[in-house]
Each structure stands twice: as C-alpha cells, then as structure tokens.
Structure 1
Amino acid sequence: MNWQLQEARDKFSQVFEEAQRSGPQVITVGGEEAAILLSMDDYRRLLPHQETLAEFLMNSPLRGSGIEIERDQDFGRDVDL
C-alpha cells in the first residue's frame, strides 16, 4: 500500500502493523515513491546469505567425490644468510 508522508507520520502505528501483516509499505512524497517500511522478516529475506567457510566446504560439489588433493612437498630452496 502507498502512504503519503504526512499520512504515514500521523498513522505510523497503522503503517507499522500493515508492514507486519501485509508486507512492504511504500511512502510517497509529492506523488513520488520515496521510502519503504519493511518488517524485519522481509528485510532479512532481502539480505544475501553469508555462508561460513565450513558451510561452503560442506556444500562443495566435490564433497564425497573421492578426489584426493596432495600438497607439494617442495619446500623451496636453501638460502645461506
């Protein structure tokens, strides 16, 4: 639903309740969309999911593939200091 700024200010509790119940509420200024009020649940759905490194590795398509990765045993060259 769209709310004019003055109306949204005067009826903030109602705007807030509508955001919780019905979804994002658009606030207009001079007939132009200027802001939006979201419930916290709607806001969190918009945020990108940040996987931890452990989650990333657990979800890897190579997990369980049997691939074996060996580390190169070359430790470089000896240097006299």
Structure 2
Amino acid sequence: MPSAPKESTNWTVAGAKARLSEVIERAQSSPQTITRNGKPSVVVVSAEEWQRKTARKGTLAEFLLKSPLRGADLTLGRQRDEPCDLPL
C-alpha cells in the first residue's frame, strides 16, 4: 500500500492568509514556513514548541562555567584610549 503524500510545510503569504486555520492546525505537529517573494520569511510553530525553544536553560554563570575556554590561560589586552566628546 503506498504511503500518503507528505503535506507541505511551505506556504505563500496569500496561501497562509486564505487558509490560516489550516496553517495553525499543521503547526501543532510541525513548523510551517511562510514565504514572501519566494524566500522564507517566517516560521509558525505551536505555542508548546515556542516555549520549549525559548525556555531559559540555566543562568549566565552556569553557561560561563561550562565554557570550553574556562581555565584557558588567555591574555586579554585592553585599549587605554583617551575619552572623546561625542556629538549630541
């Protein structure tokens, strides 16, 4: 038995506007790309996916402690330029 054709995840702006409910429904299971002038413009994802992708995964301190450069003996220079007046 042949498998069903895979539903497209790409939409034109006009197609997405005309079938917004379908775009939203499909976004519940996989990201939907909306193109403008033939180029990807935005991706619609479920709220659950968005929360998962944007959730904080620790503190800045934890991130820095896990850095592969931690413990590397780096010598960093600092410029000692004189301050200058900036136009307002």
TM (norm. structure 2) is 0.53
- Matched with 1:7 is 15
| Aligned residue pair count | 52
SS, match of residue 34 in structure 1 = strand
In structure 2, the gaps of 5 or more residues are 1-8, 63-88
SS, match of residue 49 in structure 1 = coil
Q: Within 2, Cα distance between the matches of 1:41 and 1:48?
A: 11
Q: Within 2, Cα distance between the matches of 1:39 and 1:17?
A: 9
The structure that has the greater radius of gyration is 1
- Matched with 1:47 is 54
Over the aligned positions, Cα root-mean-square deviation in angstroms equals 1.8
TM (norm. structure 1) is 0.57
**Is residue 2:49 matched to residue 1:36?**
no
Give the helix-richer structure, 1 or 2. 1
Q: Within 2, Cα distance between the matches of 1:3 and 1:34?
A: 10
In structure 1, the gaps of 5 or more residues are 57-81
Large movers: runs of 4+ above 6 Å: none
Q: Give the C-alpha shift of residue 23 in structure 1.
A: 1.3
Percent identical residues = 33
